[in-house]
């Protein structure tokens, strides 16, 4: 049960966090200049956006859940299970960012779910 709650937080809070950051990034605009000074300016600029803070908070929650679960489960078990974020990511991108999800991508997501199920059987 504790494990389920932690996985839920990793997947749902992690994905919601990434979606929020993605939303913030889109309003910052495209970055093509990778000099350290420009990157620093870009990071400072992003943190003036509310979505960036929401995203960071959610991703921190997911991160601490990940640490907790890694304290008693193998890395090669935990990380593949967290691939469930694809499912959450597809639904989130569709609903929240209005991205269009192609049929091929839905098939890929179904295969990811199958893989996650197989890894779950090796829980031991």
What is the contact surface with other proteins in residues (CB under 8 A)? Answer: 2, 18-19, 21-22, 25-26, 28-32, 34, 39, 42-43, 46, 66-68, 70-72, 74-80, 83, 85-86, 89-90, 93, 97-102, 104-105, 107-122
For residues 66 and 12, give the distance between their C-alpha atoms in angstroms, rounded to a whole number: 12
What's the closest the beta carbon of residue 60 comes to other proteins, in angstroms? Answer: 12
What's the closest the beta carbon of residue 7 comes to other proteins, in angstroms? Answer: 14
What's the closest the beta carbon of residue 95 comes to other proteins, in angstroms? Answer: 12
Cα–Cα separations (whole angstroms), residue 4 to 10, 34, 60, 64: 10, 40, 18, 15
59 and 14 Cβ atoms separated by less than 8 Å: yes
């Amino acid at each position: 049960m504790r494990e389920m709650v932690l996985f839920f937080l990793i997947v749902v809070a992690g994905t919601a966090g990434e979606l929020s950051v993605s939303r913030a990034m889109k309003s910052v605009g495209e970055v093509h200049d990778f000099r350290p000074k420009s990157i620093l300016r870009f990071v400072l600029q992003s943190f003036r956006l509310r979505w960036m803070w929401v995203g960071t908070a959610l991703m921190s929650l997911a991160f601490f859940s990940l640490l907790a679960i890694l304290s008693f489960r193998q890395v090669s078990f935990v990380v593949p299970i967290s691939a469930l974020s694809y499912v959450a990511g597809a639904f989130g991108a569709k609903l929240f960012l209005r991205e269009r999800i192609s049929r091929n991508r839905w098939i890929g997501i179904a295969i990811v779910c199958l893989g996650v199920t197989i890894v779950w059987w090796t829980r031991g």
